[in-house]
Amino acid sequence: MLDARGQETLTGSAQSEIFQILRDGQPRTRSELAALTGLARSTVAARVDALLRAKLISPIADAASTGGRPSRQFTFDGTRHSVLGVDIGATHVHIALTDLHGTMLADIQESIPVADGPERVLGWVIDEARRLLTEHGTGLALRAIGVGLPGPVEHSTGRPVDPPIMPGWDRFDVPGMLSQALGVATLVDNDVNVMALGEHHDFWPDVEDLLFLKVATGIGAGVITGGRVHRGAQGIAGDIGHVWVPEAEGVLCRCGSIGCLEAIAAGPAIAARLNAGGMDVAGTQDVVAAVLRGDIEAIREVREAGRVIGRVLTTCVSLMNPSVIVLGGPISNAGDHLLAGAREIIYTRSAPLATSNLQIVRSRGGDKAAVSGASSMAIQHVLSIDSVEALVRDAA
Amino acid sequence: MLDARGQETLTGSAQSEIFQILRDGQPRTRSELAALTGLARSTVAARVDALLRAKLISPIADAASTGGRPSRQFTFDGTRHSVLGVDIGATHVHIALTDLHGTMLADIQESIPVADGPERVLGWVIDEARRLLTEHGTGLALRAIGVGLPGPVEHSTGRPVDPPIMPGWDRFDVPGMLSQALGVATLVDNDVNVMALGEHHDFWPDVEDLLFLKVATGIGAGVITGGRVHRGAQGIAGDIGHVWVPEAEGVLCRCGSIGCLEAIAAGPAIAARLNAGGMDVAGTQDVVAAVLRGDIEAIREVREAGRVIGRVLTTCVSLMNPSVIVLGGPISNAGDHLLAGAREIIYTRSAPLATSNLQIVRSRGGDKAAVSGASSMAIQHVLSIDSVEALVRDAA
């Protein structure tokens, strides 16, 4: 494209190339960028200036020079913009303010039941987000919000769809309310995808294929293929809590079907079996507490749940051939018992090649995986080609 | 980058952009290409000339002009280069010569047992390929070969690894032998991935997520996610023939394990049950023949196999959320009986949202899916950025 003075300018992918190259954090001079992209030095210089104005890159100390004019190096600088990660659980909300490197600058947690409805929950998020930004966001421009919700989310709109434990939230415009109040784009996904993203980003960034399984009041998976969240045709990939397992034959699930994985291996099912054996446990948290205090029956039941889950995961391993399976959620995190049961079946029942390099591990992110994944989702958005172009235009 | 005359030239992705834009088959003028890419008109003109020399694009009839110099349009032309697709099955070999649009120019089939070993089988492929090229390839330059093999293939080397029905082929350098004889790159994959690719390319090109299941002497799946073959960490994604199913409990599989899907739902297992009931069927082909002549017992057994397969596919549907499941291989293609059994279970046992837009269909490519997929694999390679750049350089 020729600009008004007849000089060549570039749009689209060629322009964005320079920022995408600098994102790896390695400092480079203008000459190195010209060589890497094949763009003219004048084009590179103009682009570097635009990225500097947009505060997306910074110059670093001059490179050692053997004489003549030293060559200045530039690198990605994510410390001048911020995002909010929001993890909304069944009974808690967790907000974190991070920069574009994912460094957490401040966070706050509160016990709020999601059943209180979107106005109350998101109202709290908005108030606390403003406070975090005022107290910890000086000099930082907020650029996006990422939200994880404990129910199915329509990917194209970011709205919850028929969420079973979220009364009042069905089709509520979560992105609309947050974006209007805080003035930036809002990305929404279900909590399991967000936890998978957080775990992948923080602990397995180089792994292409990872399966994250959350075992709590329900059971669900987050599927990472080719380094990205796989959502599938209707955006419900990973929804394996209601696959039929022979061990649950005859057991009614809360979804109305018979024989679901959740009906035998999730927190409430384990609690029910312990109660039938004479214990008095109210739900998932009581099961976790019993396991942690060493109750033999509770440990036995959790391990058996791990075996049933392992059987389903064996099919997942054969289909996807991941290199890492991460078990998360409160039941997985109560010692290594669920993990041991799952490993026993997966390593016994899978093809040798499928498990030769397969790691099956507990979540390392733990309670923080969801809020970290929500931040990562927002950062991915801010650093996308279109968003970077918009930041550059606004700074011009 | 500045060339010797101080003019700007482009390398890499910016250059390739023009060809990648023209690949959609829509004719465009140089001005339109300049506007779409943001590249200088002189750069576009030079690039168009290079692609013309490489015989990858052609000018088409001049666009209607309102006066002045008419603007010539250019479009992708795949008729000047060819690829070979090679489908090697347990007892047959099928070779097809196609152009870069995937149009089949000639093909030949022969009954050759893969157990005759690589020298005999690939020797026949080389002889017949040369004959096809001489008789039907005039004016076409052969650019690549795609091969599907009936066993596991190491993706990085294209060599078969421990293939159970291919004596003499273990770690044989299939790409090396074909490339040396025919002078072009050779891509190799297992037959199920190749069939999935053929079915996707020919009949479901706009579908992002597709699952192809082959039911024959063995059972295996080809997984398409985001429009591409998903191979997984060890390249064995889709290898679901040996997942445990309760219906096969106590049944010994040819792999040495107990309770595999194949041990109850593949051709030999169905044949064994029919024989136990007093019939005399030798294997998969006899089962197919019995079904096609309307034998009630054979139909009943195939439908029941479909149900068992459907149970495993239900987990796959929950995990991947595909929009299409294609059932292929001889057992699937013997009427709608396997399909009916699989549909019955998948539609009953999946979450409503997962099946609301899910199509479960028989293979449309049938016997030709594999050779077509092998050609597609070769074409994808020829039209990749690096390969196009090499063709342009060679033609300069």
Region A190-197 average pLDDT: 96
Q: What is the pLDDT of residues B317-338, one digit of tens each?
A: 999 999 999 999 999 989 999 9
pTM of the complete model: 0.88
Token representation of residue A342: 């799952």
Cβ distance B215 to B332 under 8 Å?
yes
Q: How far, in Å, CA of A247 to CA of B249, rounded? A: 13
Residue B4 has pLDDT above 80, yes or no: no
B38 min Cα distance to partner chain A (Å): 5
Region B31-44 average pLDDT: 84
Q: Which long-range contacts (CB under 8 A, 24 or more apart) does B151-157 make?
A: B151/B190, B152/A353, B152/B190, B152/B235, B152/B236, B152/B239, B153/B188, B153/B189, B153/B190, B153/B235, B154/B235, B155/B189, B155/B231, B155/B235, B156/B235
Q: What's phi and psi for B96, nearest 5 deg?
A: -130, 140
Q: Quote the pLDDT of residue A354.
A: 84
A272 contacts chain B (CB < 8 A): no
Range name among A108-112, A161-165, A330-334 with the lowest pLDDT average: A161-165
Q: Quote the pLDDT of residue A352.
A: 80
Region B1-22 average pLDDT: 55
Token representation of residue A90: 């069944």
A302 min Cα distance to partner chain B (Å): 21
Question: Which residue from B35, B235, B322 is facing A1, i.e. has the nearest CB?
Answer: B35
Cβ distance B234 to A356 under 8 Å?
yes
| B2·A40 Cβ contact <8 A | yes
Q: How far, in Å, CA of B40 to CA of A391, rounded? A: 25
Burial call B265-300: b when 16+ CB within 10 Å, e when fewer = bbbbbbbbbbeeeebebeebbbbbebbeeebeebbb
Range name among A20-24, B48-52, B379-383 with the lowest pLDDT average: A20-24
Name chain A contacts of B13, Cβ cutoff 8 Å. Answer: 13-14, 17
Strand partners for B59: B74
Token representation of residue A307: 């075996």
Q: What is the pLDDT of residues A271-317, one digit of tens each?
A: 999 999 999 999 899 999 999 999 999 999 999 999 999 999 999 99
Q: What angle do CA A150, A151, A156 make, to 5 degrees?
A: 120
Region B17-32 average pLDDT: 89
Please name the helix (run of DSSP H) or strand (run of DSSP E) that holds residue B220, with its range, or none.
strand B219-225
User: How far apart, in Å, are the Cα atoms of B134 and each of B77, B129, B137, B374?
Assistant: 22, 9, 6, 21
What CA dihedral angle connects A390, A393, B2 and B5, to 10 degrees?
A: 130
Cβ distance A362 to A333 under 8 Å?
yes
Name chain B contacts of A8, Cβ cutoff 8 Å. Answer: 8, 39-40
Instruction: Enumerate residues 6+ apart whose C-beta is below 8 A from B94.
Output: B86, B87, B107, B108, B109, B367, B370, B371
Region B89-113 average pLDDT: 95
Name chain B contacts of A308, Cβ cutoff 8 Å. Answer: none
Higher pLDDT pick, B50 / A40: B50
Q: Quote the pLDDT of residue A10.
A: 42
**3-state class of B131 per DSSP?**
helix
Q: How far, in Å, CA of B258 to CA of B268, rounded? A: 16
| B321·A356 Cβ contact <8 A | no
A5 burial type by CB count under 10 A (0-12 exposed, 13-18 middle, 19+ buried): exposed
Residue A152 has pLDDT above 90, yes or no: no
**Amino acid (one-letter) located at A387:** S
Name chain A contacts of B15, Cβ cutoff 8 Å. Answer: 38
Residue with tokens 């004959």: B131
| B321·A246 Cβ contact <8 A | no
Q: How far is CA A309 from the centre of its chain?
A: 22
Name chain A contacts of B389, Cβ cutoff 8 Å. Answer: none
Q: How far, in Å, CA of B74 to CA of B59, rounded? A: 4
A278 burial type by CB count under 10 A (0-12 exposed, 13-18 middle, 19+ buried): exposed
Name chain A contacts of B33, Cβ cutoff 8 Å. Answer: none
Average pLDDT value for chain A: 90
The per-residue DSSP string of A185-211 comes to EEEEEEHHHHHHHHHHHHH-TT-S-EE
Q: What's phi and psi for B55, nearest 5 deg?
A: 60, 35
Question: Which residue from A38, A232, A349 is facing B322, i.e. has the nearest CB?
Answer: A232
| A244·B40 Cβ contact <8 A | no
| B1·A223 Cβ contact <8 A | no
Q: Quote the pLDDT of residue B1.
A: 33
Chain A 71-100, residues with CB within 8 Å of chain B CB atoms = none
Q: How far, in Å, CA of B141 to CA of B391, rounded? A: 11
Range name among A53-62, B177-186, B286-295, B357-366 with the lowest pLDDT average: A53-62
| B37·A12 Cβ contact <8 A | yes
In chain A, the domains with their CATH numbers are 13-76 (1.10.10.10), 81-183+370-395 (3.30.420.40), 198-364 (3.30.420.40)
Range name among A255-259, A376-380, B182-186 with the lowest pLDDT average: A255-259
| B39·A10 Cβ contact <8 A | yes
Token representation of residue A301: 């039941």
What CA dihedral angle connects B387, B393, B394 and B396, to 10 degrees?
A: 150
Residue A3 has pLDDT above 50, yes or no: no
B304 contacts chain A (CB < 8 A): no
A to B CB pairs, distance under 8 Å: 172
The per-residue DSSP string of B155-212 comes to TTTTEE-S-TT-TT-TT--HHHHHHHHHSSEEEEEEHHHHHHHHHHHHH-TT-S-EEE
Q: Quote the pLDDT of residue A15.
A: 61
Q: What is the pLDDT of residues B250-289, one digit of tens each?
A: 999 988 889 999 999 999 999 999 999 999 999 899 999 9
| B232·A321 Cβ contact <8 A | yes
Region B82-99 average pLDDT: 96
Region B360-388 average pLDDT: 94
Q: Quick one: DSSP state of residue B261? A: S
Q: Quote the pLDDT of residue A190.
A: 94
ipTM score for this prediction: 0.87
Strand partners for B73: B29, B60
Q: What is the pLDDT of residues A35-87, one digit of tens each?
A: 887 777 888 899 999 999 999 999 986 655 555 556 889 999 999 999 999 99
Residue B62 has pLDDT above 80, yes or no: no
Q: Quote the pLDDT of residue A52.
A: 94
**pLDDT band (50, 70, 90) for residue B139:** confident
Q: Quote the pLDDT of residue A1.
A: 33
Token representation of residue B279: 């019939």
Q: How far, in Å, CA of B327 to CA of A102, rounded? A: 44
| B319·A321 Cβ contact <8 A | no
A46 contacts chain B (CB < 8 A): no
Q: What's phi and psi for B123, nearest 5 deg?
A: -60, -45
User: How far apart, in Å, are the Cα atoms of B362 and each of B170, B203, B229?
Assistant: 32, 12, 19
User: How far apart, in Å, are the Cα atoms of B387 and each of A17, B45, B101?
Assistant: 21, 21, 16
A387 min Cα distance to partner chain B (Å): 19
| B233·A358 Cβ contact <8 A | yes
Chain B 176-235, residues with CB within 8 Å of chain A CB atoms = 208-209, 221, 223, 225-226, 230-235
| B208·A233 Cβ contact <8 A | yes
Chain B 106-165, residues with CB within 8 Å of chain A CB atoms = 152, 161
Q: What is the pLDDT of residues A282-291, one digit of tens each?
A: 989 999 999 9
| A321·B17 Cβ contact <8 A | no
**Amino acid (one-letter) located at A213:** L
Name chain B contacts of A235, Cβ cutoff 8 Å. Answer: 321
